[in-house]
Structure 1
Amino acid sequence: MSRNISKPLVYIYIISLILHLAVFSFFLLKQGEIGGLFVVDASDYVGEAKNIADGHGFSVTPEAPYIPNATIGPLYPLYLSIFYRFTGHFWPAVLVQNIIASFIPILVFLIGSYFILDRRILWGAALFSAIEPNLLYYTSVVASEGVFIVLLLLSMLAFIRFLKTDKKSWLIVSALILGLTVLSRIAIQYLVGFLAFWLLVYFIKKKYSTKVIIQNLAILLLVYFAFISPWMIRNWRTFGHTELATTGWIDLYTRTGSSVRALVEGTSYGESYHRQLQDLVDQGIIKDADEREMYGFQFQPLLKAQTLTLFREHPEELVKVSLISFISILTQDNTYVFLHQAGVLPAVPGNVSPSLILFQKGIRGVVATMLTLARNQAYLVIYAGRILWAILTVLFAVGVYALWKAKESRAFISFLMLVIFYVWGISIPLTASISARYRTPIIPIMSLFIVVGAWYLAYRIFSRYVSPRSQ
Structure 2
Amino acid sequence: MSILKRFFQNRPAILFILILAFILRLSLFIGIILKNPDGIYVYDSYGYWQIGYNIIHHFTFSQSYYLPLEPDYFRTPLYPLFIVLAESIGPEGFSIIVLQLFLSVGTCYFTYRIAEEITEKKIIANIAALIVAIDLPSIALSNFVLTETLFSFMLGISFYFFIRFLKDTKTKHLLYVGLFSGLSILCRPIAFFIPFFFACFIILKHKKLIRLLIKQIILLIGITFLTISPWLIRNNAVYGHYFLSVIREHNLLNYQAASVYAERFNYSLPKAQSILRWKTFREFKGNANKQPYEYAQLLEKESIKIIFEYPGIFAKQQLKGFIYFFLKPTRAYIEIQLGHWGKGYNTIPKDYPIFKYLFEHTSRLTIVLVFFQLFVLAVVYLSCIAGIMYLKKRTGVLYILLLVLAIFIFANFNLTLITESRFRVPVWSLVATISACGIYSIREKICAKKKTADLF
TM-score with structure 2 setting the length: 0.87
Aligned equivalent of 1:337 = 333
Aligned equivalent of 1:361 = none
1:334 partner amino acid? T
Deviation at 1:265, TM superposition (A): 2.9
Deviation at 1:394, TM superposition (A): 3.2
Instruction: Measure the CA separation in 2 of the matches of 1:237 and 1:348.
Output: 36
Q: Which of 174, 177, 185 is the equivalent residue of 1:171?
A: 174
Q: 1:193 to 1:325 in 2, by over 3 A?
A: same
Is it true that 1:421 corresponds to 2:408 in the alignment?
yes
1:315 partner amino acid? P
Matches within 5 A, 1:286-365: 296-343=292-339, 351-352=347-348
SS of 2:20 mapped into structure 1: helix
Deviation at 1:133, TM superposition (A): 0.6
Aligned equivalent of 1:219 = 219
Deviation at 1:421, TM superposition (A): 2.2
2:412 partner amino acid? G
Deviation at 1:343, TM superposition (A): 4.5
Q: Report if aligned partners of 1:53, 1:85 keep a CA contact under 8 Å in 2.
A: no
SS of 2:64 mapped into structure 1: coil
Matches within 5 A, 1:231-242: 231-242=231-242
Q: Which of 350, 353, 357 is the equivalent residue of 1:369?
A: 353
2:416 partner amino acid? T
Aligned equivalent of 2:163 = 160
Instruction: Measure the CA separation in 1 of the matches of 2:33 and 2:283.
Output: 37
Instruction: Measure the CA separation in 1 of the matches of 2:419 and 2:303.
Output: 19
Matched-pair identity in %: 22
Report which stretch shifted further, 272-281 or 228-237.
272-281
Is it true that 1:448 corresponds to 2:448 in the alignment?
no
Deviation string, structure 1 residues 391-427 (Cα, Å, up to 9, x no partner) = 5333323322321222x34323322223222321222
Deviation at 1:323, TM superposition (A): 1.0
1:404 partner amino acid? K
Instruction: Measure the CA separation in 2 of the matches of 1:335 and 1:279.
Output: 30
Deviation string, structure 1 residues 86-139 (Cα, Å, up to 9, x no partner) = 656232232122123212222111111122244322212211211111011112
Matches within 5 A, 1:120-135: 120-135=123-138
Q: Report if aligned partners of 2:336, 2:344 keep a CA contact under 8 Å in 1.
A: no
Deviation at 1:23, TM superposition (A): 1.7
Deviation at 1:9, TM superposition (A): 1.6
Is it true that 1:8 corresponds to 2:4 in the alignment?
no
Matches within 5 A, 1:20-39: 20-32=25-37, 35-39=38-42
2:254 partner amino acid? T
Q: Which of 46, 50, 53 is the equivalent residue of 2:49?
A: 46
Report which stretch shifted further, 135-144 or 449-458.
449-458
SS of 1:61 mapped into structure 2: coil
The alignment covers a number of residue pairs equal to 439
SS of 1:115 mapped into structure 2: helix
Deviation string, structure 1 residues 181-210 (Cα, Å, up to 9, x no partner) = 111111111221222122112210xx32x2
Q: Report if aligned partners of 1:101, 1:150 keep a CA contact under 8 Å in 2.
A: yes
Instruction: Measure the CA separation in 1 of the matches of 2:419 and 2:392.
Output: 30
1:418 partner amino acid? L
1:311 partner amino acid? I
2:449 partner amino acid? R
Is it true that 1:272 corresponds to 2:269 in the alignment?
yes
Aligned equivalent of 1:389 = 377
Q: Report if aligned partners of 1:459, 1:465 keep a CA contact under 8 Å in 2.
A: no
Q: Report if aligned partners of 2:51, 2:61 keep a CA contact under 8 Å in 1.
A: yes
Aligned equivalent of 2:454 = none
Aligned equivalent of 1:80 = 83
Deviation at 1:346, TM superposition (A): 9.4
Q: Report if aligned partners of 2:36, 2:338 keep a CA contact under 8 Å in 1.
A: no
Aligned equivalent of 2:109 = 106
Deviation string, structure 1 residues 56-77 (Cα, Å, up to 9, x no partner) = 4111011111111121220110
5+ unaligned residues in a row in structure 2: which ranges?
1-5, 452-456
Deviation at 1:348, TM superposition (A): 11
1:228 partner amino acid? I
Aligned equivalent of 1:469 = none
2:228 partner amino acid? I
Deviation at 1:81, TM superposition (A): 1.3
Q: 1:459 to 1:373 in 2, by over 3 A?
A: farther
Deviation at 1:5, TM superposition (A): 3.7
Instruction: Measure the CA separation in 2 of the matches of 1:295 and 1:12.
Output: 49
SS of 1:71 mapped into structure 2: coil
Aligned equivalent of 1:148 = 151
Instruction: Measure the CA separation in 1 of the matches of 2:289 and 2:375.
Output: 38
Report which stretch shifted further, 342-351 or 48-57.
342-351
Q: 1:243 to 1:12 in 2, by over 3 A?
A: same
Instruction: Measure the CA separation in 2 of the matches of 1:240 and 1:78.
Output: 23
Aligned equivalent of 1:437 = 422
Deviation at 1:211, TM superposition (A): 2.0
Instruction: Measure the CA separation in 2 of the matches of 1:420 and 1:371.
Output: 28
Instruction: Measure the CA separation in 2 of the matches of 1:434 and 1:161.
Output: 32
Deviation string, structure 1 residues 339-381 (Cα, Å, up to 9, x no partner) = 453256798995349xxx7xxxxxxx7xx83465465363966
1:301 partner amino acid? Q
Q: 1:64 to 1:380 in 2, by over 3 A?
A: same
Q: Report if aligned partners of 1:115, 1:409 keep a CA contact under 8 Å in 2.
A: no
Instruction: Measure the CA separation in 1 of the matches of 2:84 and 2:112.
Output: 32
Matches within 5 A, 1:237-256: 237-256=237-256
Q: Report if aligned partners of 2:116, 2:124 keep a CA contact under 8 Å in 1.
A: no
1:146 partner amino acid? T
Report which stretch shifted further, 273-282 or 131-140.
273-282
Q: 1:202 to 1:465 in 2, by over 3 A?
A: farther
